[in-house]
Structure 1
Amino acid sequence: MAPRANWKGFLRLSLVTCPVALYPATSESEKISFNQLNRKTGHRIRYLKVDADTGEEVANEDIVKGYMLDKDTFIEVSKEELEEVALESTRTIDIDEFVDREQIDPRYLIRPYYLRPDGKVGHDAFAVIRETIREMNKVAIGRVVLTNREHIIALEPVDKGLVGTLLRYPYEVRSEDEYFDEIQDVKVTKDMLDLAKHIVNQKSGRFEPDKFEDQYETALIDLINQKRAGKPITPKERPRGENVVDLMEALRRSVGKEVEPAKVAKPAKKPRKATAGQKEMLMPIQGKKQAKETAAKKPASRQQRQSA
């Protein structure tokens, strides 16, 4: 089942219009996350919205947005007043122009969304817009209002739908000058470049996301499983960077370095035999998605606090 749409409205190319829905294309909900706890009691920390001067808690219906003019002066803006700032992009993604994909600076990319027809009507118009973008090998540029802000959105065909990537405005992208001005001008010799190119050729391949594992996420799961099993936690040695004295020698050694053999998948370890009362503690976690599936198959148990 697809998640709930973040936005619904219309996609329009000149006089061709169709109802569409916008869905998030990425998610971090499956990653390991932590709650903040009171070390003394083990209870979760709860955050309250309080008045900065009185310290009293403020109800949600009494909270309004305000623009700070100075330390003690704010201009209040109500929800109704914000809604009156009616932009056409609040309900319509109007395609303004078509550009080449390579013309979009990667620094302007924010996040991707899936765009598909909303409901049973408009599929023909959607297909016309999608295939036109595909045949022209272009990216369609429009505007859309999300979270009370207008964004530039770049539309590209993917399979039967469109992927819309939100783009930043120029004022949101910092100039590289303030970071790069102090980089020294270095003359790179042809020999160094040739050796470096040889290394690149040895490591050249295709980008396949499935080849990459989130090593930090795996380490977190391992840490939690060890603590659940009551095992001692021993700090691992941190990798040390080598002090490069002779750059040319480092390049030569890199070229001559043997290619590491492909890692062979290790057979799954047999589960440790649990004694009475240890079954729940020794059950390994696999990440949020698998944990949800497991929880759905068994009755809820009392929450316990464990520490190393």
Structure 2
Amino acid sequence: MAARPTWEGHLRLSLVTCPVRLFKAVGEGDQVHFNLLHRETLNRVRQAWKDPDDGLVERKDLVRGYQVERDRYVVVEDEELKKLKLESTKVIDIERFVDGREIDRLYWDEPYYLVPDGKPAQDAYAVIREAMRGEHQVALGRLVMSSRERIVAVEARGKGMLLSTLHSHDEVRSEDDAFETIAEVKIDKRMVEIAQQIIAQAKGPFDPAEFHDRYKEAVRELVESKAEGERVVHRPTQEPAESNVIDLMEALRRSLKAPQGPVASDKKEERRAAPARGAAKKGSTAKGGGSGERRAPPRKGGSHAPRRAAG
């Protein structure tokens, strides 16, 4: 569990209240972070704010300003914002229960673990959790987080509860604008049937461990290689063929015979490469070390699975 909670307050269902804490359910993992350096001195540079009339400005002299018209701002102080205390600042008040499947996936945002704060909170927390689990319902409420009120969904998860922030209606853009250029086309039913067979071949359980970030791994290996003074040789990436749309039926038929899915392909590649890598390692040891050359994996984006709406 994280050492510091993201939010602390109370969860309230009618007259039943219990103190709770929020912890982030998703982190950055082992991301590679870069610092900005001056190319010539390799010194780390620092961010600075500059007033066009008065030069550099220190952070303590910065204030919040809301633009009401060109070159005219309303200044709002931190103390003024603190005085705008809503009830949701410290209380998650459950307002409604809904079937989680009714919430469009576009609205789901960040997940947090919601846990009881202290031993006295355990009983009330368990009662609310089990009541929601028994009815297969998701609780909707509000809380203030990062200087804004958020709509949240709370659901039972294992022996605890999961709270997910939801996007507000005005944040979700209409699909009509994005899809307006999609034309109505007549589809050959035989092509659809072949595509369905391809889908059937690629079906399988969702294992998030299989969908790793290959680009992050490539960046990390590049950094490690450069740190060790090795010369990096990049394998050329294979660009997707653009000619497969000329004969769509033929492309579908050939796809039926091809290995399905990047995960399956990666596993087969690993199985084929494993003996060779082992042999190469033995050979390099016998010769007193390798050639000092490492091949970095191709730069590709990772696969992402959509977040499941609670049910």
TM-score w.r.t. the length of structure 1 is 0.83
Q: How far is 1:258 from its partner?
A: 4.8
For 1:194 and 1:222, locate their aligned partners in 2 and report how far apart those are by CA, in whole Å: 42
- In 2, are the aligned partners of 1:3 and 1:23 still within 8 Å (CA)? no
Q: How far is 1:16 from its partner?
A: 0.8
**Structure 2 unmatched ranges of 5 or more:** 286-291, 294-311
Moved more, 250-259 or 82-91: 250-259
Q: Deviations over 1:84-107 (max 9, x none)?
A: 211110010001111111111111
Tell me which residue corresponds to 1:178: 177
- In 2, are the aligned partners of 1:94 and 1:143 still within 8 Å (CA)? yes
Q: Deviations over 1:240-274 (max 9, x none)?
A: 1112211111111111225657443837865988x
Report % sequence identity: 42
Over 3 Å counting, the alpha-carbon distance change for 1:143 and 1:196 in structure 2 is: same
**Structure 1 unmatched ranges of 5 or more:** 274-280, 283-308
Tell me which residue corresponds to 2:95: 96
For 1:82 and 1:174, locate their aligned partners in 2 and report how far apart those are by CA, in whole Å: 29
Tell me which residue corresponds to 1:53: 53
Structure richer in helix, relative to its length: 2
For 1:56 and 1:213, locate their aligned partners in 2 and report how far apart those are by CA, in whole Å: 43
The residue matched to 2:143 in structure 1 has which SS?
strand
The 5 Å alignment of 1:44-123 reads 44-60=44-60, 62-123=61-122
Over 3 Å counting, the alpha-carbon distance change for 1:258 and 1:93 in structure 2 is: closer
For 1:221 and 1:63, locate their aligned partners in 2 and report how far apart those are by CA, in whole Å: 37
Residue type of the alignment partner of 2:254: R
Q: How far is 1:218 from its partner?
A: 1.2
Q: What is the count of residue pairs matched by the alignment? A: 274
For 1:157 and 1:53, locate their aligned partners in 2 and report how far apart those are by CA, in whole Å: 56
Tell me which residue corresponds to 1:257: 258
Structure richer in strand, relative to its length: 2
How much is the aligned-residue C-alpha RMSD, in angstroms?
A: 2.2
The 5 Å alignment of 1:26-45 reads 26-28=26-28, 30-45=30-45
- In 2, are the aligned partners of 1:51 and 1:58 still within 8 Å (CA)? no
Tell me which residue corresponds to 2:127: 128
Q: How far is 1:181 from its partner?
A: 0.7
For 1:21 and 1:172, locate their aligned partners in 2 and report how far apart those are by CA, in whole Å: 26
Over 3 Å counting, the alpha-carbon distance change for 1:187 and 1:3 in structure 2 is: farther
Over 3 Å counting, the alpha-carbon distance change for 1:12 and 1:258 in structure 2 is: closer
For 2:259 and 2:69, locate their aligned partners in 1 and report how far apart those are by CA, in whole Å: 62
The residue matched to 2:109 in structure 1 has which SS?
strand
Over 3 Å counting, the alpha-carbon distance change for 1:136 and 1:72 in structure 2 is: same
Tell me which residue corresponds to 1:247: 248
Over 3 Å counting, the alpha-carbon distance change for 1:28 and 1:258 in structure 2 is: closer
Residue type of the alignment partner of 2:115: R
- In 2, are the aligned partners of 1:89 and 1:150 still within 8 Å (CA)? yes
- In 2, are the aligned partners of 1:156 and 1:164 still within 8 Å (CA)? yes
For 1:78 and 1:36, locate their aligned partners in 2 and report how far apart those are by CA, in whole Å: 31
Residue type of the alignment partner of 2:255: S
Q: How far is 1:163 from its partner?
A: 0.9
For 1:266 and 1:33, locate their aligned partners in 2 and report how far apart those are by CA, in whole Å: 30
Tell me which residue corresponds to 1:296: none
